[in-house]
């Protein structure tokens, strides 16, 4: 039995209603310009950055097999993971801070889903025309014109998606070599998988799913309301000014006709990429793209009404109260951000660009040599985190007379390389008894400040 009905559910009855296709109307205006600029800059960065070179290598490369992340002049190693973790925490906190301050700015102008969808809509407009032309084309029976337009759109979308997938993989494997490998049809299985996966994800999300991703898949849309308060910047319809809504001629005085400023043209709904009506109040589907502001402002201009019937505002401002920019949560987010950013900068600036790891040979406790000498064997792993080669002086102490044999004292490690160096530490038999703590020291020959030490043990005969 259907709820609220006395009719039994038949087999053909369905509780599912598919979402109708949204045809966002093209819009001009200041926020539309800003959105186009953001799309061009962000997509431009995404596609150009992997092609940039720094110190004869790819400027940004997440080299997973070598476990090294190159970020322009910086090389991050697995030992630097805390820096990355801190950076992610800072990014998340920045999102909280800016959401509390300015609402869903991220969603409207910088989110990858918004940016790629915008680019896909441009291609749709180039091939299928304006909103009304697209709607007409979809309703029309198949014809040569429809086939030509739909095919052109698909070719553009697929080519753009594949280039996106190729670029994505180019952040993890040198992109120039990847290009050569693709041309030579010599691409590894995983590389091919990730390129196609990311390409098809772009195609599906930006070409077909669009607002469904924001409405049903994005977790941020669900919890961002927890960061909102009555002083957060939102896009809102001014009900007091707009109601009662209704059509009228431009010559009609709304006050005399008992009307508000909303002429009920529905332009704000037609431009909305998520298909909602901003006049129904604040809705979680609203991604704050500000297209409805541009649309409504153009109507207000035509009717000689003041702009801003739909505008950036706050709940307090709408009620006529004062908006408070500085409020406790802003101070808390701001202070936390400041501490974390300062901590990250300080940690990065004072980071010693060399790592020393000492592994003692476990196969023998010690070796007795002629001339009453005792020897322990170690493998030193020396990581030069700088991008250029560097000389290091090695030494060891902790036991009287202890010295290194097998190295000349100075070793050279190539930029961003790991040197695995077997060394022997020796001293006189009379100096070493039992287990003794020793310390290996590595100093860069060109800068005494670049020094690392690592403790180990020296084992001699039991007393």
Residues that bind ligand SF4 (CB under 6 A): 235, 237, 242, 262-268, 271-274, 276, 278-279, 286-292, 295-296, 299, 309-310
Strand order in the sheet with 447-459: 410-413, 390-397, 435-444, 447-459
Which residue, 268 or 383, is less far from ligand SF4 as judged by CB?
A: 268
C-alpha closest to that of 444 among 352, 350, 379, 351: 352
Which residue, 229 or 264, is less far from ligand SF4 as judged by CB?
A: 264
- Smallest gap from residue 220 Cβ to ligand SF4 (A): 14
Which residue, 75 or 224, is less far from ligand SF4 as judged by CB?
A: 224
Residue 55 and residue 388 in contact, taking contact as beta carbons nearer than 8 Å: yes
Which residue, 109 or 203, is less far from ligand SF4 as judged by CB?
A: 109
- Smallest gap from residue 161 Cβ to ligand SF4 (A): 24
d(CA 408, CA 386): 22
- Smallest gap from residue 136 Cβ to ligand SF4 (A): 23
Neighbours of 295 (CB within 10 A): 26
Angle subtended at Cα 35 by Cα 300 and Cα 240, rounded to the nearest 5 degrees: 30
- Smallest gap from residue 261 Cβ to ligand SF4 (A): 7
- Smallest gap from residue 264 Cβ to ligand SF4 (A): 5
Which residue, 265 or 365, is less far from ligand SF4 as judged by CB?
A: 265
Radius of gyration of the chain (CA): 33
C-alpha closest to that of 288 among 308, 267, 310: 310
Which residue, 272 or 443, is less far from ligand SF4 as judged by CB?
A: 272
Which residue, 31 or 440, is less far from ligand SF4 as judged by CB?
A: 31
d(CA 414, CA 419): 8
Residue 168 and residue 198 in contact, taking contact as beta carbons nearer than 8 Å: yes
- Smallest gap from residue 277 Cβ to ligand SF4 (A): 8
- Smallest gap from residue 20 Cβ to ligand SF4 (A): 15
C-alpha closest to that of 425 among 456, 392, 394, 396: 396
């Amino acid at each position: 039995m259907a709820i609220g009905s006395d009719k039994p559910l038949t087999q053909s009855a369905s509780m599912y209603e598919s979402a109708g296709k949204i045809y966002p109307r093209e819009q001009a205006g200041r926020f539309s310009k800003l959105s186009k600029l953001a799309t061009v800059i962000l997509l431009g960065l995404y596609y150009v950055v992997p092609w940039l070179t720094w110190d004869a290598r790819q400027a940004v490369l997440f080299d997973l097999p070598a476990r090294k992340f190159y970020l322009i002049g910086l090389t991050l190693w697995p030992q630097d993971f805390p820096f990355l973790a801190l950076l992610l925490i800072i990014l998340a906190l920045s999102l909280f801070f800016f959401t509390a301050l300015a609402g869903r700015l991220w969603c409207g102008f910088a989110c990858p889903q918004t940016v790629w969808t915008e680019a896909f809509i441009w291609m749709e407009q180039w091939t299928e025309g304006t909103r009304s032309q697209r709607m007409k084309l979809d309703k029309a029976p198949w014809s040569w014109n429809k086939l030509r337009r739909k095919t052109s759109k698909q070719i553009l979308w697929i080519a753009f998606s594949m280039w996106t997938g190729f670029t994505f993989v180019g952040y993890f494997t040198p992109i120039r070599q990847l290009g050569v490998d693709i041309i030579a049809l010599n691409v590894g299985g995983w590389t091919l998988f990730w390129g196609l996966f990311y390409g098809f994800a772009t195609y599906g999300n930006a070409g077909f799913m669009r607002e469904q991703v924001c409405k049903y898949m994005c977790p941020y849309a669900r919890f961002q309301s927890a960061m909102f308060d009555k002083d957060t910047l939102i896009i809102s319809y001014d009900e007091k000014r707009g109601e009662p809504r209704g059509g009228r001629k431009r010559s009609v005085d709304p006050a005399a006709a008992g009307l508000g400023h909303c002429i009920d043209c529905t332009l704000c709904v037609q431009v909305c990429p998520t298909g909602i009506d901003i006049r129904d109040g604040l809705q979680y589907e609203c991604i704050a793209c500000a297209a409805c502001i541009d649309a409504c402002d153009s109507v207000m201009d035509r009717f000689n009404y003041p702009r801003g019937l739909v505008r950036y505002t706050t709940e307090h401002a709408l009620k006529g109260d004062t908006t408070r920019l500085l409020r406790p949560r802003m101070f808390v987010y701001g202070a936390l951000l400041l501490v974390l950013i300062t901590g990250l900068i300080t940690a990065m600036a004072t980071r010693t660009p060399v790592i020393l790891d000492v592994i003692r040979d476990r196969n023998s406790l010690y070796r007795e040599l002629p001339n009453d000498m005792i020897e322990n064997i170690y493998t030193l792993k020396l990581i030069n985190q700088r991008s250029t080669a560097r000389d290091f002086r090695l030494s060891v102490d902790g036991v009287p007379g202890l010295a290194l044999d097998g190295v000349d004292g100075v070793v050279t490690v190539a930029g961003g390389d790991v040197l695995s160096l077997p060394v022997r530490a020796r001293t006189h038999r009379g100096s070493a008894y039992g287990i003794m703590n020793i310390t290996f020291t590595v100093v860069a020959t060109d800068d005494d400040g670049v020094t690392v030490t690592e403790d180990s043990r020296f084992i001699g005969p039991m007393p």
